[in-house]
A and B are shown apart, each in its own frame.
Chain A
Amino acid sequence: MDKKATRESYGEALVMLAEKRNDLVVLDADLAAATKTGIFKKAYPDRFFDCGIAEANMMGVAAGIATTGKLVFASTFAMFAAGRAYEIVRNSIGYPHLNVKIGATHAGISVGEDGASHQCNEDIALMRTIPGMTVINPADDVEAKAAVLAMADYEGPTYMRFGRLAAPIFNDPATYKFEVGKGIQLRQGDDVTIIATGLMVAQALSAASELSDIGINADVINIHTIKPIDREIVINSAKRTGCVVTVEEHSIIGGLGSAVCEVLSESCPTRTVRIGVQDVFGHSGPAPKLLEEFGLCAENIINVVKKTLGK
């Protein structure tokens, strides 16, 4: 299976977008080479502005540009977009409900060697609490590009999460359709529901395939829009299987797992187990090794499912 980092897809999608939107402006904070907005910068240098290492100001500048009606993307690492600039995103973008698209790359533990200071496992939790903020976490190249193009036509603040590590491309560009707020049923099964997001969707699929070999049939749901979450798809599947496992490259606190638990505890109480970063900081190492170590892999999903079902 081909692989591509979703940050790369982001950079390429911005160029595709610029072809039809001449009001597109892209900001970065001295990370254009890493966030891949550099691809856009090269193609459209007049519409790219480097804000330097000053993420708070960049978010405010994005807000100001949005007040004038232009389409603006502001990019940096998830750590600085959601973490450092949180209050500016909350007060200058979220509160006035401005049409700013935040392209946050290097999310999660798969940042790898840079270590815990740059491995942001808290961004979904932070962004999800801001009223009116849409939170998107695409799973592969096809979904990432479609999401960027779709969200450009959507009016309102949006946080988009992209990864550093090359991710398997499992969606078919010919048939894939991105609908904000709509989960995607990737596989049908009655024994357990596996709800995954971002980099973990491919792992969930591969886990489900192995589980079926031992007679466990899993529903696999891709939640690319964590907020607003697709309540219907979550509840319908939980009703059918009676057991839910969530998988995310993010803290188990405040992210996909929390969002699913909120839906289920209120509308369809169901046993739910959360796979994710277990309230700890990461550390340096190659991304694939770290993902394994933190249980963010098909093997751990299989183990958790088997244990949860008592098999």
Chain B
Amino acid sequence: MDITIKRQLERTAVKVRLGIIEGVYNAKSGHPGGSLSIADTLTYLYFARMNLDPSDPQMPERDRLVLSKGHTAPALYSVLANRGFFPVEELKTLRHIDSRLQGHPVRGKIPGVDMSTGSLGQGVSAACGMALSGKLSNDYYRVYAILGDGEIEEGQVWEASMFAAHYQLDNLCFVVDNNGLQIDGKIKDVMSPYPIDEKFKAFGWNVVCIDGHDFDQIEKAFDNAERTLNRPTVIIQKSIKGKGVSFMEDQVSWHGTAPNEEQYNQAKAELEQQLAALS
């Protein structure tokens, strides 16, 4: 990846993280941990990969993204706002009465959101439907679905995975955000989904394993997905829950907790420092 572009994406990702913290702090609730772990990949997709137009969110040929791990809506909202789908200032209304920014994404409320999600394991099936529909009418858009690593404990994920491989949905790409933590603890202790890569391979998928915080690897993974024909691709990204905010990193307690004022100020200071270092 071109170093200038990479630097730009890194800067944008920090801004996205600032938006996540802003939203969750003002909401006094929400899910910062998994939002921060997926921030780099979402930034890459919306700023460097997907065919989309913020001024025409319903453009028929747009690429689709389903945030199947819907609780990380703060990340999606921040990416969409920073990409120009709605004002960044609006992130402060997250989870407020009358806000478009519901606790979990809602189709039709916010420009850029194609599917309502939040109940884990469901978004992947909708993504399969979008991909199948594209195949059926020879529309060449691509469909992305973002899953949590705890989410894949849901049986519906494997129904969908079987379906996608059976119908050779090579226009479909899952990203499993493998940050290793779910609400009750480490995924390996709560209900281990490992080996994740072998499971998807056994289901007939093209599997790519990467570091979810390295833009070079992220780009190569999506290149690989786009090149792969006749089967869907899953990108399993190792990531750090809470990435970018020191005291939130790899801490299960930050799955669904909002920072208090002091923590908010510290998180913001850390991220602003990162931004300054990147300019």
Contact = CB atoms under 8 A, between A and B. Distances in A.
Real binding pair: yes
Interface of A: 25, 46-47, 49, 51-52, 54, 56-68, 70, 72, 87-88, 91-92, 95-98
Interface of B: 64, 66, 106-108, 114-116, 118-119, 121-134, 136-137, 139, 155-156, 159-160, 162-163, 166-167
- Per DSSP, chain A at the interface is helix
A91 B136 CA distance: 25
15 contacts: A25-B133, A49-B167, A52-B166, A54-B156, A54-B159, A56-B121, A56-B159, A59-B125, A61-B163, A64-B115, A64-B129, A68-B137, A88-B122, A91-B122, A92-B116
A311 to B, nearest CB: 52
Given A67-B115, A87-B119, A91-B116, A60 B129 contact: yes
B118 to A, nearest CB: 7
B156 A57 contact: yes
A57 B128 contact: yes
B265 to A, nearest CB: 36
Contacts of A66: 129
Contacts of B121: 56
Nearest to B166: A52
Nearest to A61: B129
Given A87-B119, A91-B118, 9 more contacts: A47-B136, A51-B163, A64-B125, A64-B127, A65-B132, A67-B64, A67-B107, A67-B130, A96-B115
A25 B159 CA distance: 20
A96 B130 CA distance: 15
Of the candidates A60, A63, A66, the one having the most CB atoms from chain B within 10 angstroms of its own CB is A60
Nearest to A59: B125
A67 B163 contact: no
B216 to A, nearest CB: 31
Contacts of A95: 106, 116
Given A49-B167, A57-B159, A92 B133 contact: no
Contacts of B123: 60
A243 to B, nearest CB: 44
A45 B234 CA distance: 29
A292 B25 CA distance: 63
Contacts of B163: 51-52, 54, 57, 61
A135 B234 CA distance: 38
B116 A25 contact: no
Nearest to B118: A91
B86 to A, nearest CB: 19
B129 A65 contact: yes
B136 A57 contact: no
A56 B124 CA distance: 11
B114 to A, nearest CB: 6
B116 A96 contact: yes
A135 B208 CA distance: 44
A47 B133 CA distance: 10
